Structure 1
Amino acid sequence: MSITPEQSAWFAETFDALVANVGRAVLGKDHVVRLALTAMLAEGHLLLEDAPGTGKTSLAKALAATVQGTHSRIQFTPDLLPSDVTGVTIYDQSSRTFEFHQGPVFASVVLADEINRASPKTQSALLEVMEESKVTVDKVSHPVGRPFMVIATQNPVEQAGTYRLPEAQLDRFLIKTSLGYPDHRSTVEILTGSADRDRTAHLKAKITTGAVADMAVLASTVHTDTAVLDYVARLVEATRADSQTSLGVSVRGAIALVRCAKVWAASQGRGYVIPDDVKLLAEPVLAHRLILDTEAEFAGVTASQVVGRILADVEPPASRVD
């Protein structure tokens, strides 16, 4: 059953209210906030990469505060262990049984702050839970519940003390984006309220976790024409055949693009996906999944440039198929 016009209108209205609430803490970044909420409602995970002090943590905290669920923050450091993230089984002498003590990953919204400052071993502790929403410790699986979202922040890999995220880890992030510095007007507004060190502390939840799940289900019913699916397939196939990539976008990446496009369409009050939705989301959804050829990377080519060129080369559909 497809989403109705009334449901589309409600979805768009609610989405705008969430954007406005997060925008009270993250000024002048409406598009990035919309991308972040798209990741949440597509039941995926978000990676924020930028220089220190641009508001990455504020965005993650604002998203968590907007949802009336549990949230936790993990500060990734070089000495952090996998068990510090997932939890550990401890022997209880009084009951003579082993008990599982949950780690901070058991929350509706998990902020993984500066994720690339931890060792690759610790980073990989998130692989299972991000893909399957469960943690396995001592051969026992523990579900983390629904909704579940990891919002990770990272500093550019050129900075000292950082580790590059593994390809498998990057592929599990639905969207990767960056905030950048605010414009002049927003900077002045931030400075005006500089006495308030944490703008997110005053935010009130606008939606329950149950409503987030309902919106995710609604978004999944948005109609996607076969012509649009064909367009997505041609885009990801072009990334694999491109001379400047050694590894293109996986099937998981193609599915991620369709999921995000459905949420974006619903946020615009539409019950169907159009090619422009795919084009707008292609870079934040696909670019971080590409592995560039060594020569291209040495020449200064970026994954975003490759995706942009492919978008220009691959013709979008001009008519519906079904």
Structure 2
Amino acid sequence: MNLPPIDAVPGMVEPAEWDLLVDSAMSADLSGGASVVEFGAYFGRSTRALWTGLLDNDGFDPGRKTALLHTFDVFSCVESGYFAAHVRRDAQAARIGHLLNARDGRLDFSGAFDHFARQMPHSNLLERHIASLTDARHDGSPIALMHVDAPKFYDEYLLVLRHFAPFAKPRSLILLQDFFYQWSATLIAAVMLLVRDGIFQPEETAASTLMVRLRRPLTPEEVEDFHRRYLASDVDTLLAAAVDFFRGFDMDRKADFLPRLHLAAVQYHHERGHHVRAAEWLHRLCIGEQLMGIAAARDLCDLVACDFSIRRFYQLDTAG
């Protein structure tokens, strides 16, 4: 069953990511009452991609009694913040500006998500949760697929591991949007540690998204053990390992997205006052490996414009 194309819903999901979401959802193992979970939906472009694939999944059951797709987002942002400008622009372009709700200093866009969600067949099997990652909890069903967009930092990703990873089915897929992103250094480091541990198996990339397969389930005790080992690890070493690993990986548009791993290291060190090490990483990108193209230059400008730190803005927008 085909739904309207990618451009029907405003959002940041690129065509290659859309295709990966559709294909992953279509092949997800829905046996045993398994569900799909996503973190960070915005207006629902990724949600619609997942739903497009699920409708064509051999295991799709329209008579199912429980939610098939759980979508978590705070569905609001600071009214005067940087992200609010994007929300208003996208809503106006889609002619749904009247569905935004400004209240108590925040801009609520849950109405925009609901507008597009209602257009999807069997939308009663979709459950959206207005919740921060701190408050997000799973219903206990096996998880066949996770789309992880909201976390950009390790602290938030740890919450996903703690409260959702123990429910993931063996060999399930996890799509990490904004893995190849100049602001995601600690997330990149954590994922690389999971790759080294043999828990994550990288399989494919699409734009900024990395798709990994969960080789085996993670128990709550293993998650806490992983957390201790992450805290004892050197982020710089893990970022260097990521560059080395993905240099030899079959990546989508490698020239655009591999440099983001270098820039993530620049951002990580600059924010912490390690300016010499940040300069060394930038030297490696520009001179040592000569990877500074137009896309990387644009990403570097983004870092400079935000003074190499978006943590405060991210926390304000995602606080709920």
TM bracket, shorter-chain basis? 0.3 to 0.5
Which has more radius of gyration?
1
TM-score (norm 1): 0.33
**Greater RCO, 1 or 2 (C-alpha within 8 Å, sep 6+):** 1
